[in-house]
Structure 1
């Protein structure tokens, strides 16, 4: 009898141990899974293309993805609150043509063009947030309207034509280098670090997660949800304008068609990086990794001469898989 009890206890202990190990492995994969995928992707592309793993190409990947990454960081905060922002690409276009107008040689100081660009993005975001928070209208509808309006304003202001002849001091933002590293990477790094601190070490960040986790509970706890939603969308708009300034400087012209589909790439980067579409979950680090995964994939497939059409199909499949994984996580939770 005692022997049977001991055997049962041993089996229970072994089962409990296996369950703990499984939970640890699941937690590890949940925390570092996307980073492991990024590393595996880099290794795979390095094997398939000898020109991939070079300092010049790696810097080029980060520089190319810095613009999407900046937008994606703002979009991440919006998605954490169970919102969405479809207007990012159009805001980039509007900022692009406006900034280019004020960045002509021997016209206005550089700071004027930058402040006008930042102001436009911030205003667009605040308008989105105000209508969503005070009008109680779905974020999808509001930001879709802003997407259409901002694109139309960009085309109207520029008469549908690019605005070129930008000053060298302005083009340095997107084309220059410091210590051998492209300036856009420094801007991306600054935005990433600042946003990480904002989301993880301030009252603002705490309220972002609270609103996304349970908005009604946040209201009961005394959080001014209307105010913080306006701030969150305003910050997303501000980061879109930063991306618009960098893009305009890099291509040395204001383009009314700039930023097309950027909002979807930004959402993809956030979702791939682990931001939950149901709200309450998401990290800046995860979004940056998600943006880099897209960048590595695009760059590697370009080096392998894979059609851009196949690249879009693959990107779409990755987004769907990421959402399915997120959905399974939520069901288990």
Structure 2
């Protein structure tokens, strides 16, 4: 883990007054007890960061590292103080780690390399395994600040920082990293899927990266629970995929409240536009399964149609550009004709 005395590259961002955020990288609690209990006063005084959800995750805010790397002393000590409160062994465990003269070096997972011989499912499996090897972040401090309104190009820089630091991540960070690692796979379309559930009077948030390829849907992601993470490319429709997640939540006595589906994320990592996170919002507690299915299927068709339209428009633009280049080239006889027309003011 990168402490205040470590040397590491990475951009530095401004620190907020409290340095904590509500559910942007959401917890997937499946028990009734919040993982990071804090006082109600601290929760009320929590500052909100751009792009976060409207509800606290389980009624409990969590800390966010807003100062980049290396982690500053305030963020570092705050993290350990929180761990002391929530870990079963408390201060004894913290002292054992922090006062150790020698700690074994944690293995850094290798970034997967795409090979032309790999199939799409194999590559998605390799990406998911890489994120799983980074491990889910249980410290109560999110190491990478993710602002949903930030341009895609900026979020891709954060993804590169995740790879450099190789620290545990949460679900929202996994979505950004999944987008980055699949940018070169143009046959796969990516889009965010967000869930809001309720358990024991509290609301919980989670997000995964939906993937679509060759008429099949799946997901990439991170969670405390293995059945709330990735899904293979085996679902024929978007509704089948979403309902499968709902079934998993039901096994943990969570009630689905809202489902938010975004739009396809561009494969160009340099575009200066934010990700569309909430293009379709479904109120699951007010709509029946059939109505939800129809909305999800319509959204899936709309995304595919818009993608085809954009692709055709881009292809037409390229053809026009090539045509213009040909007309303007010196070797093209049409160039002489255009010049003659101009000279004669025809």
TM-score by length of 2: 0.30
**Higher helix fraction: Structure 1 or Structure 2?**
1
Question: More relative contact order in 1 or in 2 (CA 8 Å, sep 6+)?
Answer: 1
Computing the radius of gyration over CA atoms, which structure comes out larger, 1 or 2?
2
**How high is the TM-score relative to the length of structure 1?**
0.31
